[in-house]
Amino acid sequence: MSPELQRFFVVMRLKTRLYLAIMLLAIVAIATCVITTIFWIGEGDSEKASLLKTFNSKDEIASFISAKIKSAEREPLLWKLVGPFRTTVSAFTEVSALITPKTPEYSTTNIQVEGVDEADIIKTDGRIIYTASSNGLISIVKAYPPEDMRVLSKIDVNRSVIGLFINEGRLVILTEESIKIVPMPEKEGVIVPGQLYFPLRISVKVFDVSVPEKPTVLGDVSFEGSYTSSRMIGNYVYVVLTYPVWMENSTVLPKWAVNGAWREISPSDIYYSDSIEVPSSYTLIAAINTLDITYATVKSVLTGYAACIYMSKNNLYVTYPVLDRFLGGWGETEIYRIAVSGLKIKCEAMGKVPGNVLNQFSMDEYDGYFRVATTISSYSLPRNGMRMENNIYVLDAANLRVVGKIEGLAPGERIYAARFMGKRCYLVTFKKVDPLFTIDLSYPE
């Protein structure tokens, strides 16, 4: 079976597990009728920092994953069926540019961290507009002065465009290439969907646009896997991707390439923690020098599916939700801190907090602390339905241990928006009305 079809069946099997779990939940609810139990994550576990290590070989990776799977098989049936699975990521983007004295003022989109750019399908430097269309065509348009507006050139990447960056006469194009799959059933009589499109390859292409009428390709860095998010700090683009852990007869390692020269990521560049429940994917973090595409670094962390990220000028925080092992809802969120500086990438800390993170704006780094807002969703069977409450956790950024917290905010509601501004946090929750909370974090401990 080809690797592409293997990945497809991973998705199909995960969906099958979820459907079985839902059916089993219904049976349990009908049979018990009186069970009303809520499971909560222990406070001690959420504050325990885990030692991060790297692997020495493929065999060591295979043994680690196999041991985790066998351990999970001893957990309750519902946890075996479902396990951790992926949530959606809310996308918030920014337009950034290098402003010269002669450049007119121009507006930018909302940014989270000053100096940390985010990919968008439209970028401008105040004079030139770069825009990506759905058919993979990049238009370079002279926008100033307005009376001289015209299309200077076009770039056809012939792929779906995720986003753009512009920096120092360099145009960075992030693309996604998909393949068409016609699923084949493993057994006769199994109904499968028609043709599907599966994300196979993410590419970061860099063009010299110092002469916008004649853009020149400088090279590309490509990855196997699916796109999570990206940022740009100075001359460096950082890309976060997810690559599934799938083992048939051998260990699978993520692959990446510079200008078509493919290689496997080294086991010594893959971080892991013994405390992880069941690793379901590799989270890849790539650093690319936009001024010289041949300089790139890729590291990985063995995790669940990355849900959302937050990035400051010095650290990248990657989070993923873990389902409560007794199906009590979103049990906790694991957080990894990856230190970044140019091409240097090092995973330095891992921590946990109860609940689920809404999006990147629910996280913030300030004055040596990492702050995060979460919602705990717990199920009680069969009559009381879902119970929710919201929390603020302050962690020491160095080791990601919880040093301060506020729990039990707005019972029965969930967070719809969060912003951290200096020493304050603003939360909007919702059920029937939209209360706004202002929380003073001046004394985090």
Q: Is 438 helix (H, G, I), strand (E, B) or coil?
A: strand
For the chain, give me the number of helices (H) and strands (E)? 4, 27
Amino acid at 395: L
Sign of CA dihedral 95, 312, 115, 215: negative
pLDDT one digit per residue (tens) for the chain, 445 residues: 444 444 444 444 444 444 444 444 443 343 333 322 222 333 334 334 457 888 888 778 777 877 776 676 665 544 444 444 333 333 333 333 333 345 567 666 567 999 999 999 999 988 999 999 988 999 999 999 889 999 999 999 999 999 999 998 999 999 998 765 555 455 554 444 444 445 579 999 999 999 999 999 999 999 998 999 999 999 999 999 998 886 555 668 889 999 999 999 999 999 988 877 777 789 999 999 999 999 999 999 988 777 799 999 999 999 988 876 555 555 789 999 999 999 999 999 999 999 999 999 999 999 999 999 999 887 545 555 667 889 999 999 999 999 999 999 988 888 989 999 999 999 998 876 677 899 999 998 8
Residues in the chain, total: 445
Question: Residue 178 has what pLDDT?
Answer: 72
- For residue 277, the number of C-alpha atoms closer than 13 Å in the C-beta half-sphere is 25
Cα dist from 232 to 204, 398, 436, whole Å: 12, 23, 32
3-state secondary structure 155-212: EECCCEEEEEEEECCEEEEEEEEEEEECCCCCCCCCCCCCCEEEEEEEEEEEEECCCC
Name the helix (H) or strand (E) containing 394.
strand 385-396
- Give backbone dihedrals phi and psi of 376, rounded to 5 degrees, phi first: -95, 125
Question: Residue 33 has what pLDDT?
Answer: 32
Sign of CA dihedral 157, 158, 159, 160: positive
Question: Residue 160 has what pLDDT?
Answer: 92
Name the helix (H) or strand (E) containing 45.
helix 43-46
